[in-house]
Structures are given as C-alpha cells and as structure tokens.
Amino acid sequence: MTREILLINDDSINAVGLMHLANLFRRYGDVTVVAPKEPQSAKSASLTMDRPLHLKHLHNIEAEEDLGMARVYTLDGTPCDCAKMGINMFIDEGRMPDLLISGINHGSNASAAAIYSGTLGATKEGALYGIPSIGFSIDTHDEFPDFSIIDYYLDDIMDRFFDSPPKAGTFLNINFPDISPEQVRGITMARQGRGRWHKEFVREIDPRGREIYWMVGEFLNLAGGAEIADDHMLVHDGYITIVPHTVDTTDYAELERLSGRWDFE
C-alpha cells in the first residue's frame, strides 16, 4: 500500500526547499503539501485562534513511474495550523498520514533554535497525533541553497527510519551542514546543543520619535570544547545530525529528585 506523506514547512509555500522535499518524498509515497501562505519562522507550535483560516488548493502533480502523486495546498496560518489542517483533512477522508515531514528549512534548527522553530512545531504536532515525524533543515539562509547533500544522504537516513522508526511521541530534528556531499564527515545521532542568544535587541527611533526595537542577537555557545555531542557543534564540523525530541518534556530524573525533597504531606 502506498505511504501517505504530509509535508509542512515554515518558510512559506514559495520556499524552494518545500517543493524540493516534496519531489524527494514522492519516491516514498503520495505527498500532501499544506504550507503557510507567508513565512512563519520562529512560530514554534503557535496556533491562530483570533480569526478564521483560509485553505487554498493550488494544484496536483500526477504520479509518474516510481514517483507518487502530490496535492498542494496553502493556508494563511502558522506551521502548526498547517499540520493540524493537513491531519484533519486526512481524518475527514477516513485515514491518517503515515509520515509527517517538515522542511527543508532554510537555516539551522540546531541548539536553542529548536525551541522556537516553526519547522519543529509542525513535527511536534505530528508526534502528538502519533504520526512518525521528521524536520529537515540546512545550515544556510540562502534563498536557493544547494540541496545536493540532502539528495545524496536522504535514502540512507530514510531506510533506517522505515526499518526502525522512533517510538510514539518522539520526533526527529535533522540538520545538514551547508557543504557538498563529498565534504560530509558522517551522519550521527546527537543531543540538542547548549546555547542561547544574547544582545538580542537593537534600539532605534522611528520618524515619529518613538522607540522601536529590532530583534537581532548574537549566539552564545554554551557547549564545552570537549562536548562533541552538541548538534550545532557537530553541524559546524561537517556532520549531519539527528536529534530525537519528545512531546513529553517532563524531566523525569528531576521529578524523582524533587519528589523526594519537596515533601508536601
């Protein structure tokens, strides 16, 4: 039976990474694209609650030999809105997606970027529904990146994914360095890197004399020099990283420790 693949992104329906990934995943099944009408970076898992949403069917791509079909929609909402809309479209058809894919994001989603990422907000929504979900990002904000690294290594990653998928409630954050396939040093499992942004606002005065602030920021790397498991450090060093994230963010070790110390009886 053909796999049903739901594809989301946060860079908008016009981002070249979206349809590039759609065409790659047509090798694995039929693809339904539901992408934001406008760029929605850093929206995390935000939802649109204060207005109605508008879904527009743009076109279909017919199946070809060894390639599934694709149907392409855009929604004037967030990536998480798009994930919910796509999932509910499948539910209305009496089925569920076999796989939710988000990306290709133009820009890294390693380290603290994973917290804010709309790309990963969509994958988290998929995992919440029990759908195996993956976010793909490449470490460049170029409007037209060289995706050959993803073309070259995708089958290697997906073969393992289909053979041994993550457990329910877990989604994957995969980051590619912006290098040629020949320069890649390896594919590795990693942990979310330790870092954050600081000096995040630039103050200006607008033409009416009002203070305004632009969010910019400098990345502060909190990983130690020997801590090679941090994903942003590994991507910097030429590795493709795979970080498993969970919908359940409970710190179970701290839950046990504090339960023993904070006695409310």
Domains recognised in the chain with CATH numbers? 3-193+225-261 (3.40.1210.10)
Beta bridge partners of 33: 7, 72
Torsion 84-71-110-16 (CA) sign: negative
Contact between residue 36 and residue 12 where contact means Cβ atoms under 8 Å apart: yes
Answer whether residue 130 shows pLDDT above 90: yes
How much is the pLDDT for 121? 97
HSE-CB for 34 with a 13 A CA cutoff: 24
50-72 pLDDT, tens digit each: 999 999 999 999 999 999 999 99
The whole-model pTM stands at 0.93
Main-chain dihedrals φ then ψ at residue 5, nearest 5 degrees: -115, 125
Write the pLDDT tens digit of every residue in 203-241. Answer: 999 999 999 999 888 888 888 765 568 999 999 999 999
Question: Quick check: 200 pLDDT over 80?
Answer: yes
First to last CA, the chain: 56
Q: What would the mean pLDDT of 164-170 be, rounded to a whole number?
A: 94
